[in-house]
Structure 1
Amino acid sequence: MFDKLHEECGVFGIFGHPEAANLTYLGLYALQHRGQESCGIVSSDGIQLKAHLGMGLVADVFKHDDIFTKLPGSSAIGHVRYSTAGGNDMKNCQPIMVDYSRGSIAVAHNGNLVNAPEVRSALEKSGSIFSTTADTETIVHLIARAKSESLVERVCESLQQVKGAYSLAFLTETRLIAVRDPSGFRPLSLAKLDGAFVVASESCAFDLIEAEYIREIEPGEMIVIDKKGMKSYFPFKEKVRNTPCIFEYIYFARPDSRIFNRMVYPVRKEFGRQLARKYPVDADLVIAVPDSGMPAAMGFAEEAGLPFELGLIRNHYVGRTFIEPQQSIRHFGVKLKLNPVREILEGKRVVVVDDSIVRGTTSRKIVKMIRNAGAKEVHVRISSPPTSYPCFYGIDTPSRKELISASHSIDEIARYITADTLCYLDIAGLHAALRQFGDHKVDFCDACFSGEYPIRFPRLTDTNQLGLF
């Protein structure tokens, strides 16, 4: 409904706690913002794996207490999904669980494998039969076919055959394995709770269950947890750049999370401050497009010395589908979710801050709503650069022809959304903000803005095939 890039997925895992499935449920609740299409939990009692998966939100899929009696054991992994590879279908729910010659294994995946079509084709030619269309299943097939003896070696052997973004949680009858790809595109962190080890895409999941944050799992690191404790490996020999996704800070991660060794909230506020320094405007107040635009708008207002007001109120109880009225209501989809406050906006010169513009259709409707509420001027400020290129590392991005900034100048976009002025934070401003809160040497992936992709796409020499042009 909204003109935003869609979240990827969220993973959670716990080993060594008597309420593993229940805590995984709570962890998925905290990660719900990362995917709302489907979710699932797989647990182990030390002898066998049990699963419960379904389409919809966590609260809907796990709405009966008796579900948890069918998920016994002291270890579990969970997943919330928004499809980036494979369709929105029950068969693509995760964690994916299979039985094979060496036992059972389940996997939850956040990211996207850029060479999955090639790997899948090769596997199918050699006799593999796939039950899903998700790229994650290729990893399971590779593990089943691996020649190494130990599970750790089989997982390593398999992951060295895939390329792209992956933060993974594997569960067997007796072990939990967590691993990040060598580039570190997607977040994954480690915590402890009453002697149990916990892994999650974001630290907000630890906060909910009162687990103690330990550290981020490093790019290229594999954590193996069993009854003897935890061991860390760095099995990938090839050295690559550490390129975590910069868009996690702009939009995807919850502002109360710590990812890539930085808290999200102060970074987003600094994006707003950078915007105010570079693109000041004579105005009466600053408002945000809630909720993702709030921290940047607060930073903008503080730096500009302008009052911050809640000029747009969000309805938090809107689902993904709704019945449109037969009698046409202008801007119905946006009005269902956002409502302007006339008493705040009327007669005012308004700065409205948002995190991004994708197609521009929603921004256009929001600007018109603010004008209809009586605003005298509407100045739009975006706390990221123009999104001009699709992502292939775990974000569901439209093709390049659907991205308005790929084919229109900033002035043209301003006219389209009917803003008095429009300014974006540039790439230099993004990186300047991030450098204030962490390691200066981290080379964030900003391919959706710059078109500079850290990982090449196998066997696709014509970029037209990728929808780039």
Structure 2
Amino acid sequence: MSQETIHAAERAAGQVKTMSTYDPDSDQLHEECGIFGVWAPDRDVARLTYFGLRALQHRGQESAGIAVGDGGTVMVRKDLGLLDRVFSNADLSTLSGQLAVGHVRYGTAGAKSWEASQPHLSTINSVIIALAHNGTLVNTDELRRQLIELGVPFLSNSDSEVATKLIGYFTQRTGHLREGIRKTMELVRGGYAMTLINEQALYAFRDPHGIRPLVLGKLVDEGLDQADAASVSQLPSQDGAATVDATTHVTRAGGWVVASETCALDIVGAEYVRDVRPGEILRISAEGLVSEQGVPAAEEPANCIFEQVYFARPDSIMNGKSVYACRYDMGRQLAHEEPVEADLVIGVPDSGLPPAEGYSHESGIPFGEGLIKNRYVGRTFIEPTQELRAMGVRMKLNPLRDNIEGKRLVVIDDSIVRGTTMVQLVKMLRNAGAKEIHIRINSPEVIWPCFYGIDTDVQSQLISANKTVDEICEYIGADSLAFLSVEGLLKVMPKGGYCDACFTGRYPVAIPESFGRDKFMEGFKPRNLDKPLHFDDDAVVEKYDDRSWEEEHGEA
């Protein structure tokens, strides 16, 4: 059966509607993405999701999609491109309902593919779900193979589709979506934040280490008094499942929102409530908000430290501290650790600007603009090819000659991954008349590949794994080069546990040997390689055939 036939069958099943174009290119991509979900009766949930995704557009520019549930069906639109290309007013008007999920995606390797765009659909028999996922799962090859043997069709090689189909499969077997989610969380490994809908409820859940970010917010009408707002914000404890007794208040307050970052809450007028906890499942519906622990949380959280360094918007709040303040303090710490005599401190837009301000404050060297950014060109270090990376640097940055000519510059950037960006940058500044160029990086050296959602999963591509600091300095053509220490970075971070595997090689989630094979250089093998996890279908059937979900957990 062709992919087109499978795709058409999936669209038809369960009254699922799709209004997308089709791109036949295969997908071999890992992702760093943005997700948004909303439950809000009497609101235009499609437009709320659209604007929430606009606030998260920096997290993904390759494709965008929105799925809406109206109580009886699930409608989806997704396509390649930016939000404004994928959605028009007319498109959004066709997506009516009381709940929605949305997704913006970065493809971090290989070719672009419509099938890998999200939300993903699962339409196994009567089970209809649409899922949006941020992160990377490390053990899906074996799980995909087993599902295919069980007759589950796939349209792509995306790990997100594996998670979607696993949830649909186990939901069909058990008759309960929450149990399908819980069983999937037990099986998958990696860093993930996910939100999904069926026809009537919104779900949000996060990996047990909390690697990928996910926050909960509430939509509050202007006329809602403080007592009502307080009752809406009451949430269950972490001990088991409990329902917020706020059905009326939820409707009056406008509903609930989940998102990758708090900046998406701000744009839709939602108030931050808290982070979704590691291993937690949230269910939001007309019955209220239900929280339960899907899988036990890890002993130590491992939030991705690169969110504060690079990915997140500076106006987002993470672990109680603004990303801007974190980056500013990184710059101050960097000036303390790696001082240099210079005339001007400049930052590489955008994430290099706050640490440049902090470096200037601590060092006493004036801060100024030295690089102008074309804001309509995407980030370069996660473009698909080296040629496009090099071209992207020249397209997106231009030196401000009047400010830098004849001056000794301290240039602050967030990271050096492959080195191609910095080579082009130093050359541009030299050509613009800079007298000296001292590169300061407000993060440690990226030596180890990331398997949890960032495009650094092959160690041989990482320049710091192949060269010393002095060799990198010579390669990029700078007068000096220095990085913030791991200890210095952790010193300025808000309280909480962090994944710093890309700097230290300490991986919080074991990497299956089959997944990590050929991705480490000789002499760099980490200790925590693991064998793929296997699920036994017969054991699943035996486990659930005589189980009474209602007696143990209440209605799904």
With structure 2 as the length reference, what TM-score do the two structures score?
0.78
* AA at the equivalent of 2:508: P
- Evaluate the alpha carbon distance shift between residue 215 and residue 320 of structure 1 in structure 2; reply closer, same or farther with a 3 A threshold: closer
Is 2:122–2:168's contact at 8 Å kept on the other side of the alignment?
no
Q: Residue 466 of structure 1 aligns to a residue in which SS?
A: coil
User: What does 1:289-328 correspond to in 2, within 5 Å?
Assistant: 289-318=348-377
Deviation of residue 332 (structure 1)? 5.8
Of 12, 19, 42 in structure 1, the residue corresponding to residue 67 of structure 2 is 42
Give distance in 1, aligned partners of 2:444 and 2:208: 26
Give distance in 2, aligned partners of 1:98 and 1:128: 10
- Evaluate the alpha carbon distance shift between residue 171 and residue 307 of structure 1 in structure 2; reply closer, same or farther with a 3 A threshold: same
How many residues are paired up? 448
1:162 aligns with 2:162: no
Of 100, 119, 132 in structure 1, the residue corresponding to residue 143 of structure 2 is 119
Give distance in 1, aligned partners of 2:376 and 2:284: 39
Deviation of residue 419 (structure 1)? 0.8
Structure 1 counterpart of 2:540: none
- Structure 1 or 2, whichever has the larger Rg, is 2
- Evaluate the alpha carbon distance shift between residue 201 and residue 156 of structure 1 in structure 2; reply closer, same or farther with a 3 A threshold: same
Q: Residue 278 of structure 2 aligns to a residue in which SS?
A: coil
With structure 1 as the length reference, what TM-score do the two structures score?
0.92
Q: Residue 215 of structure 1 aligns to a residue in which SS?
A: strand
Structure 2 counterpart of 1:324: none
1:430-469 CA-to-partner distances (Å, cap 9, x unmatched) read: 10011xxx32xx22111111111111122439x5433444
Deviation of residue 104 (structure 1)? 1.2
Give distance in 2, aligned partners of 1:203 and 1:320: 21
Structure 1 counterpart of 2:215: 189
Is 1:382–1:424's contact at 8 Å kept on the other side of the alignment?
yes
- Evaluate the alpha carbon distance shift between residue 77 and residue 361 of structure 1 in structure 2; reply closer, same or farther with a 3 A threshold: same
Structure 2 counterpart of 1:374: 433
1:131-179 CA-to-partner distances (Å, cap 9, x unmatched) read: 2221111122222332323221121012211111110001011100000
Residue range with higher mean Cα deviation, 364-373 or 244-253: 364-373
Give distance in 1, aligned partners of 2:378 and 2:430: 27
Give distance in 2, aligned partners of 1:464 and 1:410: 27
Deviation of residue 89 (structure 1)? 0.1
1:245 aligns with 2:301: no
Structure 2 counterpart of 1:406: 465
Q: Residue 498 of structure 2 aligns to a residue in which SS?
A: coil
Q: Residue 473 of structure 2 aligns to a residue in which SS?
A: helix
Q: Residue 91 of structure 1 aligns to a residue in which SS?
A: coil
Give distance in 2, aligned partners of 1:74 and 1:388: 46
Deviation of residue 367 (structure 1)? 1.1
Deviation of residue 320 (structure 1)? 7.9
* AA at the equivalent of 1:450: T
Deviation of residue 211 (structure 1)? 1.0
Is 2:209–2:297's contact at 8 Å kept on the other side of the alignment?
no
User: What does 1:194-273 correspond to in 2, within 5 Å?
Assistant: 194=220, 195=253, 196-237=255-296, 239-273=298-332
Q: Which runs of 5+ in 2 are unaligned?
A: 1-29, 221-252, 381-389, 523-556
* AA at the equivalent of 1:466: K
Is 1:87–1:133's contact at 8 Å kept on the other side of the alignment?
no
Structure 1 counterpart of 2:50: 25
Q: Residue 465 of structure 1 aligns to a residue in which SS?
A: coil
* AA at the equivalent of 1:12: F
Is 1:86–1:135's contact at 8 Å kept on the other side of the alignment?
no
Deviation of residue 238 (structure 1)? 6.5
Q: Residue 303 of structure 2 aligns to a residue in which SS?
A: coil
1:417-439 CA-to-partner distances (Å, cap 9, x unmatched) read: 111110000110110011xxx32
Structure 2 counterpart of 1:327: none
Structure 2 counterpart of 1:153: 179
User: What does 1:289-438 correspond to in 2, within 5 Å?
Assistant: 289-318=348-377, 333-397=392-456, 399-434=458-493, 438=494
1:376-413 CA-to-partner distances (Å, cap 9, x unmatched) read: 11110000111111110011225211111101000000
Structure 2 counterpart of 1:174: 200
- Evaluate the alpha carbon distance shift between residue 136 and residue 68 of structure 1 in structure 2; reply closer, same or farther with a 3 A threshold: same
Structure 2 counterpart of 1:466: 519
* AA at the equivalent of 2:83: V
Is 2:185–2:294's contact at 8 Å kept on the other side of the alignment?
no
Q: Residue 296 of structure 1 aligns to a residue in which SS?
A: helix
Residue range with higher mean Cα deviation, 273-282 or 207-216: 207-216
Deviation of residue 235 (structure 1)? 2.2
Residue range with higher mean Cα deviation, 130-139 or 422-431: 130-139
Deviation of residue 86 (structure 1)? 7.9
Residue range with higher mean Cα deviation, 152-161 or 79-88: 79-88
* AA at the equivalent of 1:48: T
Structure 2 counterpart of 1:138: 162
Deviation of residue 371 (structure 1)? 1.7
1:5-27 CA-to-partner distances (Å, cap 9, x unmatched) read: x9700100000242100000000
* Structure 1 runs of 4+ with >6 Å offset: none
Larger fraction in helix: 2
Give distance in 1, aligned partners of 2:503 and 2:368: 30
* AA at the equivalent of 2:507: Y
Deviation of residue 316 (structure 1)? 1.6
